[in-house]
């Protein structure tokens, strides 16, 4: 009996590992971090190709304002599959006007917002205030360690972000990227983009998610996957603690939801892998039932006010 059961388990696992199979996740999945793809050479919508390849049901398409009309058209064509989020250059004087116009056209959020400015600087403050006024969440890329020479930093000063959460209580902030995720550990000193090893309790990110109603987290990208892969015990507690605040996102660059077509800039540990598959695997390992559904589906629907 034992060997028979073992055989079944092993063959089941092997079957799942085959990249040709689309994983069957235990809950419905919305990807809140899918950079909008428009590949007119393909006979199928390129966003759907990625989603269908990794078992994602719905996605928030992150779109630059100049492509807003095309994104809105994609949403109109596939209303059960897509909603969209808008980004505009917040260092330009017309940013508020552009972002407001996109929300009037149906964008449900600002993001991703990624510019070489301080997290408490005037450009981002204007965006925070406007997001609060319009009632849309704002997704921010926090990064303080360059990935390549001369890259520069993005939304700097995450360690002091509590001041912004207090200053803009009506605004819903969604944290993302290297500095947001590296700061799960209290000993992070900006020495690496993707720190490894055991997480030291009391990190800024853990604290902000716990202390502030308006702080949320996007588990996407290598940064989110790395933070949730370095210390199993931490991951389990962190996901359960913040099950009402965290949302699944991929920020994956692969073409098909199977890890193919990744560019040279992809992090070494993610080469040949689809981030969506990897991170959904982690979420399934540590969460189940209602908690899992909140992180892969429910929280995003509530925060982005998406009709189910
Ligand atoms: Zn980003
Ligand atoms: Zn992928």
Query: In the 3-class helix/strand/coil scheme, how is 107-140 assigned residue by residue?
Result: CCCEEEECCCCECCCHHHHHHHHHHHHHCCCEEE
Residue 154 Cα to ligand 1 middle (Å): 9
d(CA 266, CA 255): 13
Residue 36 Cα to ligand 2 middle (Å): 13
Q: Looking at the predicted structure, is the pLDDT value of residue 206 above 90?
A: yes
- For residue 265, the model assigns a pLDDT of 86
- For residue 39, the model assigns a pLDDT of 80
Residue 172 Cα to ligand 1 middle (Å): 17
Which residues, in sequence order, are CB contacts of 204 under 8 Å at separation 6+?
158, 159, 161, 183, 186, 188
Residue 16 Cα to ligand 1 middle (Å): 29
Q: Looking at the predicted structure, is the pLDDT value of residue 253 above 90?
A: yes
Give the model's confidence band at 10: pLDDT under 50 very low, under 70 low, under 90 confident, else very high.
very low
Residue 174 Cα to ligand 1 middle (Å): 11
Residue 140 Cα to ligand 1 middle (Å): 7
Q: Average pLDDT of 102-119? A: 97
List alpha helices for 144-268, DSSP H: 162-167, 178-182, 204-211, 221-227, 232-241
Q: Looking at the predicted structure, is the pLDDT value of residue 5 above 50?
A: no
Domain map (residue ranges) of the chain = 23-303
- For residue 9, the model assigns a pLDDT of 36
- For residue 41, the model assigns a pLDDT of 78
Q: Looking at the predicted structure, is the pLDDT value of residue 6 above 70?
A: no
Provide the 10 A C-beta neighbour count for residue 291.
Answer: 18
Which residues, in sequence order, are CB contacts of 307 under 8 Å at separation 6+?
none
3-state secondary structure of 25: coil
Please report which ligand is nearest the Cα atom of 147.
1
Residue 4 Cα to ligand 2 middle (Å): 34
Give the model's confidence band at 20: pLDDT under 50 very low, under 70 low, under 90 confident, else very high.
low
d(CA 200, CA 182): 11
- Residue 58: beta bridge partners? 30
d(CA 104, CA 242): 31
Residues 142 and 158: beta-carbon distance below 8 Å: yes
Residue 3 Cα to ligand 1 middle (Å): 46
Q: Looking at the predicted structure, is the pLDDT value of residue 77 above 80?
A: yes
d(CA 89, CA 64): 9
Q: Average pLDDT of 163-191? A: 97
Q: What is the pTM of this model?
A: 0.93
Average per-residue pLDDT for the chain: 93
- For residue 272, the model assigns a pLDDT of 95
CATH code: domain 23-303 is 3.20.20.140
Q: Looking at the predicted structure, is the pLDDT value of residue 18 above 70?
A: no
Residue 177 Cα to ligand 1 middle (Å): 5
Residue 128 Cα to ligand 2 middle (Å): 30
- For residue 186, the model assigns a pLDDT of 98
Q: Residue 22 half-sphere exposure, CB side, CA atoms within 13 Å?
A: 11
More confident residue, 223 or 3: 223
Q: Average pLDDT of 102-112? A: 97
Please report which ligand is nearest the Cα atom of 275.
2
Residues 80 and 276: beta-carbon distance below 8 Å: no
Q: Looking at the predicted structure, is the pLDDT value of residue 116 above 70?
A: yes
């Amino acid at each position: 009996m034992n060997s028979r059961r073992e055989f079944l388990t092993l063959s089941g696992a092997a079957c799942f590992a085959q990249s040709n199979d689309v994983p069957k996740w235990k809950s419905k999945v919305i990807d809140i971090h899918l950079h909008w793809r428009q590949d007119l050479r393909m006979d199928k919508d390129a966003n759907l190709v990625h989603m269908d390849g990794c078992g994602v049901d719905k996605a928030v398409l992150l779109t630059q304002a100049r492509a807003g009309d095309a994104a809105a058209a994609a949403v109109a064509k596939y209303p059960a599959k897509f909603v969209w989020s808008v980004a505009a250059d917040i260092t330009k004087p017309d940013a508020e006007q552009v972002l407001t116009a996109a929300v009037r056209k149906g964008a449900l959020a600002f993001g991703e917002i990624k510019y070489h400015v301080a997290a408490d600087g005037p450009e981002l403050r204007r965006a925070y205030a406007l997001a609060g006024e319009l009632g849309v969440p704002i997704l921010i890329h926090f990064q303080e360690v360059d990935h390549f020479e001369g890259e520069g930093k993005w939304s700097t000063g995450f360690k002091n972000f509590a001041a912004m959460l207090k200053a803009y209580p009506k605004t819903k902030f969604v944290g993302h990227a290297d500095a947001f995720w590296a700061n799960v550990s209290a000993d992070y000193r900006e020495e690496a983009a993707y720190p490894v090893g055991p997480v030291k309790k009391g990190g800024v990110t853990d604290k902000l998610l716990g202390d502030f109603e308006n702080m949320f987290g996007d588990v996407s990208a290598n940064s989110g996957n790395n933070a949730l892969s370095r210390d199993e015990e931490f991951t389990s507690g962190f996901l359960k603690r913040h099950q009402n605040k965290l949302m699944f996102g991929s920020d994956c660059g692969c073409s098909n939801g199977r890890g193919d077509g990744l560019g040279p800039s992809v992090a070494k540990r993610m080469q040949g892998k689809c981030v969506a598959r990897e991170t959904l695997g982690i979420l399934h390992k540590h969460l189940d039932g209602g908690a899992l559904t909140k992180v892969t589906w429910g929280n995003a629907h509530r925060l982005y006010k998406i009709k189910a």
